[in-house]
Amino acid sequence: MELFKVTFGLIVIASLSATLSSANPGFNIGWGSHGGRSFSLFPEFYQFSCPQANDIVMSVLERAIANEPRIAASLLRVHFHDCFVQGCDASVLLDDSATIVGEKNSGPNKNSLRGFEVIDEIKAKLEEVCPQTVSCADILALVAHGSIVLSGGPYWEVPLGRRDSKTASLNASNTNIPPPNSTLQNLVTSFNRQGLDEVDLVALSGGHTIGLARCVSFKQRLYNQNGNNQPDQTLDKGYYNNLKSVCPRSGGDNNTSPLDFASPAKFDNAYFKHILWGKGLLNSDEVLFTGSAGTTMQLVKIYAEDEGLFFIQFAKSMVKMGNISPLTGFNGEVRKNCRRIN
C-alpha cells in the first residue's frame, strides 16, 4: 500500500511537472536541483517556445566549422570556462562595460578564449525567430554539444532551461579555471569544488582530443619543469624535440601546437593513447597518467583502449558539467545580446 502511494505520488508529480512545463516552458518541478532553489533542466525546454532552436544552432555551427575546423574546439572550451565560473550562466560572454567587469581578460581567457562571433551570429538568428527566448547559457551548451557531434564525437540529449547572469566574476575566472601546469591534486580539488569527481576530470580532459594550445601554455615543460632548467622527464624524447621547434626558449609564445597531434579536428580517443606514450601536450594532461592517483591512471588506460566507453562517460560528464549551478525560473534573465545584460 505504502509503495503504491509513493509510486502514485511520483506519477502525479511527473505528469504535473510535464503539464506545467508544456503550458509554460521554463517551469518545471525541480528534481535534485542545486541548493533546492532552482528548477531542473530538461531537453524539451524549447519544444513549444522555440522548436527551431537546435536547428539554428547547428546550421550556423556547420558553416563555421567547415570554414575553420578548430572553432569546434574553441567553442567547447567556452562552455567549460562558463560553467566553472559562477555556474553555466553565460557570464563568460559579457563584455566589459561601465557596470560589468567581464571575464574575457582573466589569465585563462585573455588572448586565448575564442569563438564569440559564432555565438553572436547564432544569437542574432535566434532573436529573429524567437525573440528573448533562448538563453545565451543554453546556446553555449547546445554549441558545445553540436561541436562535438560535428567533430565525430558522441551524441546526447542536452538538458536546457538555463538563464543568463546579470553579473560576471573576473576573480572567479582567475581562480576556478585550473592552469595548465596544475598538479593532479590541484586538478582533482578544482573539479571537486564544482561537484565533479575524478571520473569527470579524466573524461572531460578528453575534450583535448580537439584544438590547439599556445606555446606559453606548455613552455615550462620544455625548458624548466621543476625550476632546475630541465625538461619534464615524462615527455617522450621525439615529441619533446618537435615541440621545441614550435616553442623556442624565448619568444614564440603565441605559436600553437595541437593538443592531439594525430587528429586535432577529430573527436576520438587518440588523446588518451598519446598520454600513455608520454605525448600529452599540457602538464595537466600528462599528470592524469603519471600523477600519483591510481584511479586517473586506470581511467586513462581504459579510455585509450575503448573509445566507446570514453564517449559514454564524456557525454555523462558533459551533462554533469552543464548542470553546475544554473540560473532557472525567475533568476537571471534571457539576454537579447550575449555580450551585455538587458
Residues tagged in the binding site annotation: 82, 85, 87, 89, 91, 103, 178, 208-209, 260, 268
Cα angle: 42, vertex 8, 13; to 5 degrees: 30
CB-side exposure of 296: number of CA atoms within 13 Å? 25
Binder of ligand HEM out of 33, 77, 91, 289 (CB under 6 A): 77
Binder of ligand HEM out of 74, 173, 176, 325 (CB under 6 A): 74
- What does the alpha-carbon distance between residue 156 and residue 15 come to, in Å, rounded to a whole number? 24
Q: Cβ distance 338 to 47 under 8 Å? A: no
Contact stretch for ligand HEM (CB under 6 A) within 12-20, 162-170, 180-188, 233-241: 180-188
Q: Cβ distance 218 to 281 under 8 Å? A: yes
Binder of ligand HEM out of 92, 134, 210, 297 (CB under 6 A): 210
Q: Cβ distance 151 to 314 under 8 Å? A: no
Q: Cβ distance 212 to 70 under 8 Å? A: yes
Contact stretch for ligand HEM (CB under 6 A) within 20-28, 55-63, 165-173, 174-182: 174-182
Instruction: Decide whether 102 or 264 has the Cβ nearer to ligand HEM.
Output: 264
Binder of ligand HEM out of 25, 180, 231, 326 (CB under 6 A): 180
Radius of gyration of the chain (CA): 21
Contact stretch for ligand HEM (CB under 6 A) within 8-16, 208-216, 293-301, 302-310: 208-216
User: Which three three-digit cell numbers place residue 172?
Assistant: 572567479
Scan residues 254-313 and list those touching ligand HEM (CB under 6 A): 259, 282, 284
Binder of ligand HEM out of 34, 114, 125, 266 (CB under 6 A): 114
Binder of ligand HEM out of 123, 208, 221, 335 (CB under 6 A): 208
- What does the alpha-carbon distance between residue 281 and residue 208 come to, in Å, rounded to a whole number? 9
- What does the alpha-carbon distance between residue 155 and residue 302 come to, in Å, rounded to a whole number? 20
Instruction: Decide whether 114 or 340 has the Cβ nearer to ligand HEM.
Output: 114
- As measured in angstroms, the least distance from the Cβ of 336 to ligand HEM is 27
Binder of ligand HEM out of 146, 153, 207, 280 (CB under 6 A): 207
Instruction: Decide whether 194 or 331 has the Cβ nearer to ligand HEM.
Output: 194
User: Which three three-digit cell numbers place residue 329?
Assistant: 525560473
Pick from 255, 273, 258, 173: nearest CA to 215: 255
- What does the alpha-carbon distance between residue 158 and residue 45 come to, in Å, rounded to a whole number? 10
CA 197 to each of CA 144, 218, 295: distance values in angstroms, whole numbers, following the listed order: 21, 25, 11
- What does the alpha-carbon distance between residue 333 and residue 275 come to, in Å, rounded to a whole number? 42
- As measured in angstroms, the least distance from the Cβ of 23 to ligand HEM is 35
Binder of ligand HEM out of 211, 280, 322, 332 (CB under 6 A): 211
Give me the residue whose beta carbon is nearest to ligand HEM.
211
Pick from 220, 243, 70, 251: nearest CA to 147: 70
User: Which three three-digit cell numbers place residue 128?
Assistant: 529573429
Contact pattern from residue 181 through residue 200 relative to ligand HEM, giving x for each residue in contact according to CB under 6 A and a dash for the rest:
-x----x-------------
Active-site annotation holds for 81? yes
Q: Is 46 in the site for ligand HEM (CB under 6 A)?
A: no
What is the binding site for ligand HEM (CB under 6 A)? 70, 73-74, 76-77, 80, 112, 114, 178, 180, 182, 187, 204-205, 207-208, 210-214, 217, 259, 282, 284
Provide the annotated active-site residues.
81
